[in-house]
Amino acid sequence: MIRKIIHIDMDAFFASIEQRDNPGLRGKPVAVGGSSDRGVVAAASYEARVFGVHSAMPSKIAARKCPGLIFVKARFDVYKADSAKIMDIFWDYTDLVEPLSIDEAFLDVTSNKKGIPSATLIAREIKERIREKTGLTASAGISINKFLAKIASDEDKPNGLFVIKPDEVMDFIGRLAVDDFFGVGPRTAQKMHDLGLFKGEDLRNADLQMLIRNFGKAGIFFHQIANGIDERPVRPHRERKSVGIENTFHEDIATRDEMLTQLEKLEKGLWERIKKHGAFGKTVTLKVKYNDFDQITRSHSSSEPFVNPGQLVSVVKDLLNLANPEKPVRLLGISVSNFPPREDSGPLQLTIDFD
């Protein structure tokens, strides 16, 4: 049976929410995030993207690229509330919903709760319901597998709907630049170019053993998707790998006392997340990023999960001694991982770092 996979991706989610809630921001270049020299852009409106502003860009560079850029402080409680409304809409159509982040998800609607035979009609209906419920727009990609559905959702942004039909798959992939393939970053793309691989058709016709020699197991994956093969299922629950919290400071901190004070704040926040998600892990990791952007991590593992905040505090202090930071520090982070197996590990918990 040919699968029907939809990828829904909200359009400039954080920035669009800010423009929705503040009419004075509509039509203007907006960046969500800190505006200080140490700030980072969490999201950019389409008006800002025209100037080359994008997420994860230092705010200082973003302001230089777009002199009229308006910085807005992030409101995560609002974003999460809108995300919950959107995810509830997805669940009305199928139980096979795999959230990738707060603002995007895969849906397998091969068999769906409403008995709608067309994935395109389902996607269009979902987009309309999102607009009615939240006042926001989403883009949808529809195809026979996850790789193609995700590629398709980027084809007609914003507020787009793009379908790659089964009989169009091979032609579409053949024309697709290898730079746009899932898992192909700038370095891998350059390596492919050096090997004479520029389009999906080149990958498709390439010798499999040559791809394996140059890219390892990823070479097999690249060859498969170049041939339209992607059997990855839509997984409604993904195993949680870690729960973490971190903070980038407005000014570097240099003394142990300052670090301990900041770590105490992080420990309290992390413990609330641990309790909320029932994520009691056996490994604690301390992350330290210096003012020159060098970064180290130090970890401690126990035979049993850490089940009270006192254990966490003691371990983090010991890890700070092991880290022995001798340079000013711009970021500290703590995470727990190595969770005991359980029947339902819940959704993947992401660490988000904003100034």
Determine the Cα–Cα distance for residues 297 and 320; give it in Å rounded to an integer.
Answer: 10
Instruction: Tell whether the model's pLDDT for residue 346 goes beyond 70.
Output: no
Q: What's the one-letter identity of residue 265?
A: K
Residue 70 pairs in a beta bridge with 30
Higher pLDDT pick, 19 / 278: 19
Residue 345's pLDDT is 36
Listed range (103-107, 209-213, 325-329) with the worst mean pLDDT: 325-329
What are residue 6's DSSP bridge partners?
107, 142
pLDDT of residue 247: 86
Mean pLDDT of 87-102: 92
Identify the CA nearest to 329 among candidates 284, 286, 293, 285: 293
For the cut 70, the answer to whether the pLDDT of residue 240 exceeds it is no
Report residue 293: phi and psi, to 5°: 75, 0
- Beta strands 41-44 and 5-10 are unpaired
Q: What is the pLDDT of residue 7?
A: 98
Q: pLDDT tens-digit profile of 144-189?
A: 999 999 999 999 999 999 999 999 999 999 999 999 987 788 889 9
Cβ neighbours of 164 (radius 10 Å): 21
Lowest mean pLDDT, pick from 139-153, 190-204, 270-284: 270-284
Share of the chain above pLDDT 70, in %: 93
| 3-state DSSP assignment of residue 41 | strand
CB of 51 closer than 8 Å to CB of 29: yes
* Residues marked as catalytic: 104
Confidence grade of residue 238 (pLDDT, cut at 50, 70, 90): low
Structure confidence at residue 112 as a pLDDT band (50, 70, 90): very high
Strand, helix or coil for residue 217: helix
Mean pLDDT to the nearest integer, 216-233: 92
Per-residue pLDDT tens over the stretch 300-343: 998 888 877 778 888 998 898 887 777 889 889 999 988 876 54
Per-residue exposure over 27-55, b if at least 16 CB sit within 10 Å of its own CB, e if not? eebbbbbbbeebbbbbbbbbbbbebebeb
- Contact between 93 and 114 under an 8 Å Cβ cutoff? The reply is yes
Q: What is the pLDDT of residue 241?
A: 75
Q: What is the pLDDT of residue 344?
A: 37
pLDDT in tens, 6-57: 999 999 999 999 999 999 999 999 999 877 766 788 899 999 999 999 988 8
Least Cα distance to 86 among 120, 45, 128 occurs for: 128
Q: What are the distances in angstroms from CA 253 to CA 59, 211, 287, 329?
A: 20, 47, 14, 5
Q: How confident is the model at residue 1 (pLDDT cuts 50, 70, 90)?
A: confident
**What DSSP designation does 229 have?**
-
266 contacts 334 by C-beta, under 8 angstroms: yes
* pLDDT tier at 239, thresholds 50, 70, 90: low
DSSP H or E stretch at residue 104: strand 104-108
The arithmetic mean of pLDDT across residues 132-148, rounded, is: 97
Q: Are strands 329-337 and 295-301 parallel, antiparallel or unpaired?
A: unpaired
- Of 299, 228, 314, give the one whose Cα is nearest residue 267: 314
Instruction: Place 277 in a pLDDT band, splitting at 50, 70 and 90.
Output: low
Q: What value does the mean pLDDT of the chain take?
A: 88
Distance CA(219)–CA(213), nearest Å, equals 8
Tokens of 342: 């359980």
Token pair 């809630």: residue: 21
| pLDDT at residue 213, as a whole number | 93
Long-range contacts of 76-79 (CB under 8 A, 24+ apart): 78/17, 78/21, 79/13, 79/14, 79/17, 79/103
- Helix, strand, coil percentages (3-state) for the chain, rounded to 5, are 40, 20, 35
**Interatomic CA distance for residues 186 and 194, integer angstroms:** 12
The most confident of 123-132, 178-187, 223-232, by mean pLDDT: 123-132
Write down the pLDDT at residue 349: 37
